[in-house]
Structure formats: structure tokens, C-alpha cells
Amino acid sequence: MHLNFGHQLVAVDGPARRATFIHTHTDGRKEAVLKDFDLLHVVPPQTAPDFVRVSPLADAAGWVDVDPATLRHKRHANVFALGDCANTTNAKTAAATRKQAPVVAHNLLAALGHAKGEARYDGYGSCPLTVERGKIVLAEFVYGGKVAPTFPNWLIDGTRPSTLAWYLKDRVLPPMYWSGMLKGREWLAEPALTE
Ligand SMILES: Cc1cc2nc3c(=O)[nH]c(=O)nc-3n(C[C@H](O)[C@H](O)[C@H](O)COP(=O)(O)OP(=O)(O)OC[C@H]3O[C@@H](n4cnc5c(N)ncnc54)[C@H](O)[C@@H]3O)c2cc1C
């Protein structure tokens, strides 16, 4: 599979099955690229909601401007952010939000004088990639794209499709999400603390 980074879709000619991209090169040079397609799957560019993008909390790109580890706003010490709206460079997943929530909770309590130490988020994100019915690649990584598997390799190899990862997503994660995460009951998302 060849990845074409820096390509922005700008036009689609449906009858001719042709898509036009603007390719921005690393030196800033822009070039129109035409591609023929049989099937086109388009995902719009990610943005924060409008009320975040236009607020003083946003960085130049429109995301809430937080410290990547403490999730505390870089300019407003009494503001924290987590989830898709933050400008952290992790993969924007609910799995990331799950790990960020206890970090924000701890640091918020610490800012109010009710907790000691500083919790730090390591950029964990998880993308369960469904590659066929019954098989998933459980890709887990932290900041910098460093692979960070939850399970030992012999149980679930995060670089290969596996049936066990499918069962994890299909059977284990839904109750964990509804009964654990959303109710604040989690035993595997304890944040690392520094003094
Ligand atoms: C197709 C798809 C598949 C995905 N699969 C996975 C997966 O398998 N695993 C995984 O971990 N993650 C997955 N994700 C990512 C995951 O859904 C997000 O990372 C997660 O939902 C982010 O949570 P959030 O609370 O930050 O934002 P959101 O879930 O987007 O919540 C933001 C909320 O704010 C509300 N809102 C917006 N504007 C306003 C306003 N002005 N006033 C009040 N409310 C407002 C929105 O309606 C929304 O409910 C997937 C995402 C997509 C789109």
C-alpha cells in the first residue's frame, strides 16, 4: 500500500471517475494531481467543533491548545481539555480519551489543591482495524508512533489480524465502555504520577 501524505481532495468528477488532489510538497510547493478511481471513500478533514475553533482556547489550527502530557491549557492554567478537540498528537480515538480522562481528573483536583503530584498522558491510542469479519488488527501506540501493546505478543500480536482481538472488540469492549468507562469505573487506566 502506498501512502500519499499532503494530498487534499479538492474536486470529484463522478461520471469520469476522476478525483483531483492538491499535493503540497515538503518545500511548500503545490501541484494538482489527478487520480482515476473505481471506488472513492472520502473522509472529511478532522476539525474541532466551531465553538472551539473560534474561541481564545484554540491554537492556530483550531484545536484546544494543551500541554501534551498534563492536558492543561498552555495559556489558561484553569482550563484542561481531552478527547478529539485537543491539539495532542495522539490518534483521535475513544481509547485515547479513556486514558486522558483520569489524567485530567487528577490534574484538575491537584490544581484545586485536593490531590498531590502531576498525572501525565503518554499519548496512548488504540485503533482496532477490522480487516475482515472475525478478524481485527489491534494497533496500540503512544506518542511518536511507538508501539505499546496492552497484551503480551503471544496473546494478541498487534501487528497481525487476530480472532481474539475481534472478540475483545465485539464482546469485551462494549460492557467495559458502558459499565466501566462511562461510569468512571476503570482499573486499567491509572495515570502515571510525577511529583
Ligand atoms: C467511524 C468512526 C469509528 C471510530 N471507531 C473507533 C474505535 O473503534 N475505537 C476508538 O477508540 N475510537 C473510535 N473512533 C473515535 C471516537 O469515536 C472519538 O475519538 C471519540 O468519540 C472522541 O470523544 P470526544 O468526547 O472527544 O468527542 P465526541 O464523541 O465527538 O463528542 C463531542 C460532543 O460534543 C457535542 N457538541 C458539539 N458541538 C456542541 C455544542 N456547540 N454544544 C453542545 N454540544 C456540542 C457533539 O454533538 C458530541 O456529542 C471512531 C470514530 C469514528 C468517526
Domains of the chain by range and CATH? 7-36 (no CATH), 49-122 (3.50.50.60), 125-181 (no CATH)
- pLDDT one-digit tens code per residue, 105-160: 999 999 999 999 999 999 999 999 999 999 999 999 999 999 999 999 999 999 99
Residue 185 confidence class, pLDDT cut points 50, 70, 90: confident
Q: Please tell me the residue having the least CA distance from ligand 1 atom 13.
A: 93
Question: Could you tell me the three cell numbers for 103?
Answer: 489524567
Closest among 123, 108, 117 to 72, alpha carbons compared: 108
Calculate mean pLDDT across residues 181-186: 83
State which ligand 1 atom lies nearest to the alpha carbon of 96. Answer: 11
Task: Tell me which of 84, 121, 150, 182 to substitute to probe ligand 1's pocket, judged by most ligand atoms within 8 Å of the beta carbon.
Answer: 84
- pLDDT one-digit tens code per residue, 8-41: 999 999 999 999 999 999 999 999 999 999 999 9
pLDDT value at residue 189 = 82
| pLDDT at 187 exceeding the cut of 80 | no
Distance 158 CA to ligand 1 centre (A): 24
> How far is residue 7's CA from residue 3's CA, in Å, rounded to a whole number?
10
Distance 84 CA to ligand 1 centre (A): 7
Quote the Cα angle for 164-166-121, to 5°: 90
Candidate from 78-82, 98-102, 103-107, 191-195 with smallest mean pLDDT:
191-195
Calculate mean pLDDT across residues 87-101: 94
